Amino acid sequence: MVILKIALIGVGGAILAVIVRQFQKEYGVFVLLAVCLFLMAYLTSNVSVVVEFAEELGDKIQISDAYIRILFKLLAIAFICQIASNICQDLGYQSISFQVEIVGKLSIFILSIPIIHSLLETIESLM
């Protein structure tokens, strides 16, 4: 039921932004940003459950905490860039949206290099 509430908040916020844009175009942006910030705040309020699960999983299968932290950073980059890209598209700035996505993808690749390196070392040790 939580996802239904989130979906309704998102749709309601979008409708409110459209209505506000009709009367005061510049205030529609603020409604859009407020809804996005509210949804991001809700998302971050539930992160502790995921972190606890990841720590439990890491203890069971003996994964370094550094790798788990990297994975969380990768997820955060993906979410933040996607949200920023969508906001830029909603505001009509597709070129900025595209650049945000490219920078996000490049950042994810750079941050994942230690994991790729470790995977290659593991494969080499098995051969």
Place of tokens 């920078």: 103
Single out the residue of 72, 74, 43 nearest to residue 55, CA to CA: 72
pTM of the model: 0.71
What local confidence, expressed as pLDDT, does residue 65 receive? Answer: 76
Token pair, residue 29, equals 């942006």
* The predicted structure's pLDDT at residue 109: 93
Task: State residue 79's pLDDT score.
Answer: 87
Confidence label for 103 from pLDDT (cuts 50, 70 and 90): very high
User: What CA dihedral angle connects 66, 45, 93 and 78, to 10 degrees?
Assistant: 20
Q: Report the first-to-last Cα separation within the chain, whole angstroms.
A: 49
Considering the chain, what is the average pLDDT of its residues? Answer: 85
Structure confidence at residue 38 (pLDDT):
87
